[in-house]
Amino acid sequence: MKSTLTVFPSKNLRGMSATVLGCALGLSLCLSPHAQADSSPLEAARAAAEKARQEQAAAEKAVAEVKARAEAQAAEKAAAEKALVEKTAAASKATEALRAQETFAADKAVRSTKAALAKARKAAKEATDADKEARERDVTSARETVLRATERAAQAKAAVIGGLKPLAASAWNYEKARHLLFRAGFGGSPEEVSRLHRMGLFAAVDYLVDYHLQPETAGWFDAFPHRRTAPYEHHLNAAQKAELNQSRVSFRQNQHHRLRRAWLRRMAETKRPLQEKLALFWHGHFACSFLAGEDSYAMWRQNEMFRHRASENFGALLNGIAHDPAMIRYLDNHVNFKGSGNENLGREILELFSMGEGQGYTEKDLAEAARALTGYNFEYHNGQFKFVASRHDTGEKTLFGQKGNFGGDELVSLILQQPATSRYITGKLFRFFVHDNPDKGAVEQMAHVLRSHQYEMKPMLRNLFRSEEFFSERSMGTHIKSPVELMISAIRTLKLTNVDFASIDGTVSNLGQRLLEPPNVAGWEGGRAWVDASSLLQRYNVMAKLVAPVDLVAWLQESGNADPAVVVDSLARALLCVPLSKPKRQELIAYLGPLPPPEQWAGKRNEINTRLRAVLVALVSLPEYQLARNAPIRFQPSSELAVITRQ
């Protein structure tokens, strides 16, 4: 019997254990011919092989199950991964959709919010505008109520104190504001006039009269007393003494020239125009000249007194003049002493400074006034008043029917008691500020206001500047400017800068108004005395020279309007208190002619300025600016400016 060897396929043995395979192989190899007879072992081997086969099958099945599970897990994993990718994509798509939806919603919300905000702003603006309009109406109504009340109060007060009738508040306009600024000051730019106009009549007058509320011009001039004679000078020879004396004279004269120029500058730049206008008035009223003693320091002190007491109490001002070193020297009161009287100061105090010539006093009163002022002297080197008691006449004096040992202070008090004093002073102020021919009734009304306020001048000035008389047709556009007013008003109106005040000083002096050197103790005559055929031509020429550097193109650019009619009207409104007549207006417009469009102004600046300056010179040479009204003009154009002649 042959031995049989069973061989198992090797490809299916990967799942079987090593023990099972070894046993099966051992059993097969151990079979020998001797063992064939014995079937039990064979059967056992077969059984073992079968078992091994079954185990192998089970192992293969287990392997297949493991493999299937692995494949299932792989498939499940792949499906999970696919599902994850799909979910991720879906989530991303959903996120994008959500974002788009949120963006749309946000944009919609923003648009809605903006629309709501715009609507709210519009509503708020409408409410604000309505509220503003309501407030403006309330303010306007309140202002009108206040104005009416102020007007009634002013009228009542004027009636009570016997003053001039106030102008109706409704009659106040731009032209009247300009008239006020020019008469109570030296004029101003259109912006300044507009500001005064917006204030209303009563506030505008208060603004000018209460000038102490405006900033003072600090450090406008430094004056120094004269140099004393040094003790060693008596040891010098004649030439050396003459040289030192000449240096002192030069110092006084140079200080005098600088003072005049500084005052002109102050008038042009001051924030207190009425103060300087009154200082100019008092300088002409209490006329005193540097030439009398060439004392520039004393003249500066007098000028400061006029300024500081300009609108205060007339009694204080008159008392100051009686004690003023410059006036004492000018009218020779330093040689007025007991037993050797000099009546100059006493006479002029009565005739020219307070009561008027031949008004309310006698020749005896003049002599007694001079006696009262005996001993009133001054210290030359420091410009101070000095009372020399040993030279004063202490005897009894009779003044205006009253007896007593009167001095200068008592003289002033007695003068203020005389009715002629208030009439004389208010009459001169009326002619200076209003016109040359005041009614006696108007002067008496002003005098009553001055007396009822114990010679305080501000109440009288308020009443004057608010009055119908001040703004009457006889007043507006009829004033002949003095040389100082002519030049200073042009500087202020046209806002001229870099002005050569040494040249201005020379100009006003040549025109007849040399400051600090009036022609005589009566001062400048004024009015029509300022102009004649020669001086008129000179006034035109100096005005042409003054405005020659003005860049009117810059002024034109501010308005942005090149219409010749608008340009002429704007210049006329800035310079004239009364409207141009139609013929003169048309003549000026025709002379100016069409102007290039604004974009060409820069390239044609010189050409345009030449034409504008010609019109400007024409305007400042008109009677409405210089003299009275309505004199015809004729143009004769020259190379640069229009020359204006009278027909």
Helix (H, G, I), strand (E, B) or coil at 168: coil
Q: Compute the residue count for the chain.
A: 647
pLDDT given for residue 225 in this prediction: 92
User: Of 62, 97, 131, which one is at a domain's C-terminal end?
Assistant: 131
Alpha-carbon span 388 to 374, nearest angstrom: 8
Query: Residue 561 falls within a domain, yes or no?
Result: yes
Split the chain (647 residues) into runs of 10 and give each run's mean pLDDT. Answer: 43 43 44 48 77 78 78 79 78 74 73 77 77 72 68 70 91 95 95 96 97 90 87 88 90 96 97 98 97 93 97 98 97 94 96 96 96 95 92 97 96 98 98 95 97 97 97 91 95 93 97 97 93 87 88 79 89 85 92 88 88 89 69 40 34
* Best CA proximity match to 555, nearest among 617, 613, 501: 613
How far apart CA 126 and CA 286 sit, in angstroms, is 63
- Domain of residue 600, residue span: 531-646
Dihedral pair phi/psi, residue 381, rounded to 5°? -80, -20
Q: Is residue 199 part of a domain?
A: no
Residue 317 belongs to a domain: no
**What is the residue type of 192?**
E
- What are the Cα distances from residue 432, in Å, to 350, 481, 517, 554? 20, 10, 19, 36
Tokens in use for 273? Answer: 């125009």
Produce one character per residue of 237-268: b if its CB has 16 or more CB atoms within 10 Å, e if not. eeeeeeeeeeeeeeebeebbebbbbbbbbbbb
Give the pLDDT score at 28.
Answer: 46
Q: For residue 140, what pLDDT is reported?
A: 63
Q: Is 467 helix (H, G, I), strand (E, B) or coil?
A: strand
pTM, two decimals, is 0.76
Q: How many domains does the chain have?
A: 3
| Burial class of residue 391, CB neighbours in 10 A (0-12, 13-18, 19+) | middle
Ramachandran class of 360: left when φ > 0, alpha when ψ lies in -120 to 50, beta otherwise: left
Residue 472 lies in a domain: no
**Of 372, 401, 417, which residue constitutes the final position of a domain?**
417
Collapse the DSSP code of 643 into the 3-class scheme (helix H, G, I; strand E, B; otherwise coil) and give the result.
strand
Query: Among candidates 516, 522, 525, which has minimal Cα distance to 291?
Result: 516
pLDDT at 30: 44
Virtual torsion, Cα 202, 204, 208, 210, nearest 10 deg: 50
Alpha helices in 167-323 (DSSP H): 174-183, 190-199, 201-209, 238-269, 273-285, 296-308, 314-322
Report yes or no on 592 lying in a domain: yes
In this structure, what token pair is assigned to residue 37? Answer: 């007879």
CB neighbours (10 Å) of residue 310?
Answer: 21
| Cross-strand pairs, 340 | 337
The pLDDT assigned to 632 comes to 41
Token duo for residue 490: 């042009």
Dist. CA 92–CA 137, nearest whole Å: 64
Specify if 39 maps to a domain. Answer: yes
pLDDT in the model for residue 139: 67
The single residue listed with the structure tokens 């704007």 is: 570
Of 131, 148, 177, the domain-final residue? 131
* 419 exposure class (CB count in 10 Å sphere: 0-12, 13-18, 19+): middle
In a domain, 79, yes or no: yes
User: Does 295 fall in a domain?
Assistant: no
H or E stretch at 107: helix 39-161
